[in-house]
Amino acid sequence: MKRPLRVYAILYLAFLYAPIALLPVFAFNDGTVIAFPLRGFTWGWFEQLTEIPALHAAVLNSLKIAVSTAILATCLGVLAARAATRFAFPGKKGVMGLIMLPLVLPEIIVAVSLLVVLLQLGLSLGAWTVILGHVLIATPFSIAILNSAFQGLDLSLEEAAVDLGETRLSSFRLVTLPLVMPGIISSLLIAFTISLDEFIIAFFLTGTEPTLPVYLWGQLRFPQRLPVIMALGTLLVLASVLLLAIAEYARRRGAARTGQKDAGGFL
């Protein structure tokens, strides 16, 4: 059974990577139509990227939102993961279920329900409303990552610190925090990536300042803009892969530090 399964696995990986593999092919293709046959090599589309002010504004807006989301979601994630792994309290399952719910909720439901409330309250849409929505959907991912970081902790380390005269807070800061730091870094990066890539919630809640995906969505309608989008996509993929590689490295180091068996995976 091993050989056919291996062939299948490799074909499946090819299927998973097919769209991404095409990105650079068209990003460097010297033709305006996104189709075969290819025309020749050019850097032109990348050069054009530097000349679009609307794109730069969207990138800045997205970065601002993604950084805020990463920090807020990770803070909420630390609190929830610490509570879930360290303490027993009545109704824990229900509480954690509610917090983790956005993981399975269709994003459009999250988007429209937030929109309805914000508009009813008469609040104006903008970057901050997108941040509110993104924190909601990124927190469950942060919790999932941080849960495994906190679970790997040996409780006796903290007890030892307390026995040696540290307060609960200082033992958390001096003992627990350094041990879960790789998990925190991993959570920051994942939340950042989720926010940077999220479209639907941003589409509904962004108001007049588009985020990068909302800007991209607008551009997909113009065929002559597509090669530039391919160039942009190539850069985005490179950035995501880099961030993920760092997140994965941090997660593994964290697993090693707390003496866990490395099971792999973010979810």
Partner 1 sequence: MSDRIRGPRIGRSEAAQGYLLVATPLAYALLLLAVPLGAIVLFSFWSQDYLTIDTTLTLKNYREALSDPLYRQLLLRSLMISAAVTAATVLTAFPIAYYVSFYVPPERKAMWIFLITIPFWTSYLIRVFLWKVILGYNGVFNTTLLGLGIIDEPLTFILYNANAVVITLAHAYAPFAILPIFVALEKIDRSLHEASRDLGEGYLSTFWRVTLPLAMPGVVAAVLIVFIPTIGDYVTPMLVGGPDGRMIANMIQTQFLRLNNAPMGAALAVLTMAMVSAVALVFVFLNRRFLRGRQ
Residue 1 binds to partner 1 (criterion: CB under 8 A): yes
Residues 6+ apart with CB under 8 A from 92: 83, 84
For 59, residues 6+ apart whose C-beta sits below 8 A from its C-beta are 212
Of 103 and 174, which has the nearer Cβ to partner 1?
103
Please report whether residue 47 would count as binding partner 1 according to CB under 8 A.
no
Using the rule CB under 8 A, is 237 a contact of partner 1? yes
For the CA atoms of 18, 187, 193, 238, the dihedral, rounded to the nearest 10 degrees, stands at -60
The CB density around residue 75, as the number of other CB atoms within 10 Å, is 15
Region 2-41 residues binding partner 1, contact defined as CB under 8 A: 2, 5-6, 8-9, 12-13, 15-20, 22-23, 26, 34-37
* Bridge partner list, 41: 29
Q: Does 228 bind partner 1 (CB under 8 A)?
A: no
Please state the closest distance from residue 159 (CB atom) to partner 1, in A.
5
Identify the residue among 51, 98, 164, 224 touching partner 1 (CB under 8 A).
98
Q: How far is the CB of 51 from partner 1 (least distance, A)?
A: 20
Cα–Cα–Cα angle for 195, 192, 206, rounded to 5 degrees = 30
Give the x/- contact pattern for partner 1 in 58-97, rule: CB under 8 A.
-----------------xxx-xx-xxxxxxxxx-x--xx-
Query: 116, 123, 177, 256: which one contacts partner 1 (CB under 8 A)?
Result: 116
Query: How many Å apart are CA 76 and CA 125, to the nearest integer?
Result: 23
